[in-house]
Each structure stands twice: as C-alpha cells, then as structure tokens.
Amino acid sequence: MEFNIKAGAPDRLASGCIAVGVFDKRRLAPAAESLDRAARGHLRDVLKRGDMDGRAGTARLLLDAPHLACDRVLLVGLGRESEFGAKQYRDAVRGAVNVIADTGARDAHLCFPELHIAGKDMVWKLRHAAIATADALYQFEQMKSKKSPARRLRSVTFMQPGRSPTGARGLAQGRAIAAGMALARDLGNLPANVCTPTYLAEQAAQLGKSWKLGVQVLERRDMERLGMGSLLSVARGSRQPPKLIVLRYNGAAKRDKPVVLVGKGITFDTGGISLKPAGEMDEMKYDMCGAASVLGTLRAVAEMKLACNVVGVIPASENMPGGAATRPGDIVTSMSGQTVEILNTDAEGRLILCDALTYAERFKPQAVIDIATLTGACVVALGNVATGLFSNQDTLAEELLEAGADAWDRAWHLPLWDDYQEQLKSPFADVANIGGRPAGSVTAACFLSRFAESYRWAHLDIAGTAWVSGKNKGATGRPVPMLSTFLIGRSGKQD
C-alpha cells in the first residue's frame, strides 16, 4: 500500500473515494463542508434525509455525488465533537478504510488530519493515520492455498489542511511502525511447525541483510559455554534446537549506550512436563510474540533511521515434554550463578529470560526492556487492553507509560515490591521459578528482577495484549508502537 500526503481542500479532487467526517448530530467537518459546497448541498441533503447523523462507528457511502470529480464520497460518523479524541480519530480512520477496501476504489483520500485533537499535533495525526490504515488492511494469508482476490485499493492519501512539513515526518514514522507491526503480526500468526527457533533466527538474519543490522546467532554449544543452564533446561524436551539471537542497530555514536530489548521467543508452549490443558493450546504459538515485537521494533527503528543504538536479544526455544525434558523439582544453574528450583515447567518464560537478561549486561545498556507473554495472571488482571509494566526505576516506567499512551498502546504500572519476593523462596535452591497463585504476574516480574540488578530495567507482560482470541483471532503487533515511540523519544539523547 502506498501512503501519501496532500495539502489543501478536497473539493476538486479526482479520487476513487474521499472520506470526510460528520459530527453527531449532523455537523459537517471542514472538508465535508467544502465538498458539500462543491456538490451544491448534496451532502446536507443526505443528512437531512436521515441517512447519516454522525454517530461514532457509522459510515455512509455516496456514489456519483453531483458536481464532484471523485467517484465516491464516504461520510464517516465521528461522534460528538466534544468527545472527539485519539481513540475516536483512530476509529474513524479504521472505519473508513474498512468500508473503502470493500469498494472498487483504487485510490482514496482521507480528510481526517484536519480534525482537532487536544494535545496532538500534525506529526501524531499522520503517524496514527498511517498505522490505523495499515492495521485495518492487514491480512494473514501466507498459509492459505487460495488467497482472497487482490484488493483494488492501492494508494491512500491523507489530506492535510495546510502545508506543514511536520506531517511528512509523522507519515514516515507511521509507515515504519506499521511495517514493524505487520512483521510482528506475521511471525506471531505463523504456526509453530513453521515458526521454530531456527526460523526466527533465519528471519533475524534476513532482517539484518535488508536493514543493515548486525546479527549473531548463538547455538546450544555457545550457550553451554556461557553457562546458560536455565535457558537450556527449557529446550531439553524439544527436537528443535534453541537459539539466542542478537541483533544490533547502530544509529548513534559507538560510545552511546544502547537500549537493549529482550524478547521471549517460546515458539510453542505446551507447558512441558507440567503439561497445559488442551483447550486453546493452539494459542501458545503466540508465546514468541515478545521476540516478534523486538524484530518488529528493530525494523521500525532502522527504517526511521533513529539516532540511537538498540540491541535486540531473543532467547528462542520450544517448551515440550519429552524423554529428556526438565522435571518439576529439577534444579538448574543460571548464567548469573543463581540456582533455580523448577517447580513448574510451564513457568518457562522467566527461565529463558533470566539468562538473556544476564547476557544483556555485556552491552553496558542505558536501559533494558524485556517483552514477554509471561503470565496468564496478567490476562486476568488487565485483559487485552493494557500491557503489564514493571520496572526497577520509576522514571523509566513513566517514560514507557507515556510512550504507550501517545502510541495508543497502553501499559499499566504494577508493583515490584520486595514483599512479593518472599513467595519465591525455595528450600533447596536460591530461588523457585513459581510463587503460587496470588499476584502471579508480580512474582514472575520479581523473579526476573533478580537478574536485572545491574542496570535500569523494565518488564512488559504482553500476555493479554499480543494477540486477540475468538472470531478475529490474530496477533496485534503490540507493543511495537509503544517501543518505537519510546525509542523516538530516546533518540538523539544520552543519559
């Protein structure tokens, strides 16, 4: 899909479809006004006849509106003007694109950037217009033998009220973030028999080639030499060899400390010997969405050419039962030297992440952020709306919360108090890998915090936000928008 910007009013445009907003009740937004004038009151007539009143979530397609050079006009309900904000803006774009994609239009012009949203500038509006458009058009058909017929819609142009150079920057960011999200979604949606640790490593290598990233893949024997006994204990039950994938993006001076992103890459989580129940187990192919978000974010960062250094670290493994699999009660030694009693082999995410977190020390990071579909408890607590956020530094947490709010990819700060560490006591090892039912997401984060003491660190539990279940099952590409926005904010700075 091609995205463009155009300045000015839409009244003389030859276009497959022009989408304009209507507020509740029946109040035309400026672009709609100008079309209405050119069409000698036709839009107002439609409103008067009661075919569109501007309620949010509604849309009305007009064919062959008189005196206009465009084939179609799409009236999009924006809801009440006083309630119009970031969410309504994104919904309007998505709603419009959904309708237009089903028409015969080859190109479309969307007139939403003119709408006022408190606290948001043209950069934000163009960035989000591109992301919402790409999000609405996303399809995953790699595994179907018969593809749905190709869409006619080839190009989407966002109409800007005036000539503002900042819009172009927003659009470029939106394009890059949308492409990163699409990559993360594709990897997440692929089944686990295709998307194995080896496949993830190959995809990382390809990404490296396309975007000039340094890529290194550590094999089982490399991890053995490093003493990653915890990570390796998870891979024992699987025929698939584990990988530790390292990617580097250098957009700033060498001496600038990098942000390290660590992504959980369990390509399938059966639970291991602590086997999961059968219901919805297929969704455990999404247990590598943290890894996918690291790859997607690196792609976005590279396309935006951000002035920062970013390292991606992806511990990748399957979690399977098998003759050699780890048993409940087994004790392993992590790379940090801490011993772990594995009381439940289904709490495997923290076992691969802890060694990756220790490995991250060698990059002398300004901050480390891990991203993981870590706990079912996080889904119970926050559903599929907010990502769970934990940090050993409040200013880093604030920064991520703000990036998430700006990206409409929101997180909620949860506690990491010492009181919870008690639950991880083991009679036989330094730490147990589970802390019982109460506060399951917190104790998982507490476990990780023991391996992240030497740097500023945040943990994103994306168990509820990385994919949606049900009729529209699929990966969401979150938290690529939050992380990309965070890195836009960090680039060009050094602390």
Question: Footprint of ligand BES on this chain (CB under 6 A)?
Answer: 269, 287, 344, 346-349, 373-377, 379, 434, 440, 463
**Which of residues 344 and 494 has its CB atom nearest to ligand BES in the complex?**
344
Give CA angle at 121 (120, 127), nearest 5°. Answer: 90
264 is catalytic: no
**Which of residues 104 and 191 has its CB atom nearest to Zn ion in the complex?**
191
**Which of residues 345 and 476 has its CB atom nearest to Mn ion in the complex?**
345
Residue 189: contacted member of ligand BES, Zn ion, Mn ion, none (CB under 5 to 8 Å, by partner type): none
β-partners of residue 411 are 387
Shortest reach from residue 371's CB to ligand BES, in Å: 13
Asked if 269 is part of the footprint of Mn ion (rule: CB under 5 A), the reply reads yes
Shortest reach from residue 462's CB to Mn ion, in Å: 14
Check the CA dihedral 253-179-128-368 and report its sign. Answer: negative
Asked if 303 is part of the footprint of Mn ion (rule: CB under 5 A), the reply reads no
Q: How many residues sit close enough to Mn ion to count as binding (CB under 5 A)?
A: 3
303 in Cβ contact with 175 (< 8 Å): yes
Shortest reach from residue 344's CB to Mn ion, in Å: 8
Dist. CA 464–CA 478, nearest whole Å: 10
**Which of residues 301 and 460 has its CB atom nearest to Mn ion in the complex?**
460
Q: Provide CB contacts within 8 A for 32, sequence distance 6+.
A: 20, 21, 22, 43, 75, 111
CB atoms within 10 A of CB 24: 18
Shortest reach from residue 287's CB to Mn ion, in Å: 7
**Which of residues 114 and 269 has its CB atom nearest to Zn ion in the complex?**
269
Which residue's CB comes closest to ligand BES?
376
Site string for Zn ion, 329-358 (x = CB under 5 A): --------------------x---------
**Which of residues 396 and 424 has its CB atom nearest to ligand BES in the complex?**
424
Dist. CA 490–CA 485, nearest whole Å: 9
Shortest reach from residue 97's CB to Mn ion, in Å: 36
Shortest reach from residue 483's CB to ligand BES, in Å: 19
Residue 344: contacted member of Mn ion, Zn ion, ligand BES, none (CB under 5 to 8 Å, by partner type): ligand BES
Site string for Mn ion, 332-351 (x = CB under 5 A): --------------x-x---
Longest dimension (CA), the chain: 82
Asked if 461 is part of the footprint of Mn ion (rule: CB under 5 A), the reply reads no
Q: Provide CB contacts within 8 A for 1, sequence distance 6+.
A: 133, 134, 137, 153, 154, 155, 156
Q: Provide CB contacts within 8 A for 297, sequence distance 6+.
A: 180, 261, 310, 312, 480, 483, 484, 487
Catalytic site residue from 44, 220, 257, 276: 276
Which amino acid, 192? Answer: A
Structure tokens at 261: 């992103």
Dist. CA 228–CA 291, nearest whole Å: 18
Dist. CA 313–CA 263, nearest whole Å: 6
90 is catalytic: no
Which residue's CB comes closest to Zn ion?
269
Dist. CA 425–CA 438, nearest whole Å: 14
Asked if 180 is part of the footprint of Zn ion (rule: CB under 5 A), the reply reads no
DSSP run (H or E) holding 468: strand 467-468
Dist. CA 188–CA 289, nearest whole Å: 6
Applying CB under 5 A, which of residues 36, 287, 370, 399 lies at the interface with Zn ion?
287
Dist. CA 151–CA 294, nearest whole Å: 30
Site string for Mn ion, 210-249 (x = CB under 5 A): ----------------------------------------
**Which of residues 409 and 461 has its CB atom nearest to ligand BES in the complex?**
461
Shortest reach from residue 267's CB to Zn ion, in Å: 10
Dist. CA 322–CA 318, nearest whole Å: 11
Residues in the chain: 495
**Which of residues 37 and 276 has its CB atom nearest to Mn ion in the complex?**
276
- Mapping DSSP to helix (H, G, I), strand (E, B) and coil, where does residue 66 land? coil
**Which of residues 189 and 373 has its CB atom nearest to ligand BES in the complex?**
373
Shortest reach from residue 473's CB to ligand BES, in Å: 13
Applying CB under 5 A, which of residues 24, 71, 269, 303 lies at the interface with Zn ion?
269
Q: Provide CB contacts within 8 A for 170, sequence distance 6+.
A: 122, 123, 124, 125, 126, 127, 130
Q: Choose the binding region for Zn ion from 38-46, 88-96, 210-218, 264-272 (rule: CB under 5 A).
A: 264-272
Residue corresponding to tokens 């900042």? 166
Catalytic site residue from 125, 264, 350, 450: 350
Shortest reach from residue 143's CB to ligand BES, in Å: 22
Helix axes 289-304, 166-189, angle to 10 degrees: 150
- Rule CB under 5 A: which residues touch Mn ion? 269, 346, 348
- Rule CB under 5 A: which residues touch Zn ion? 266, 269, 287, 349
Residues acting as catalytic residues: 276, 350
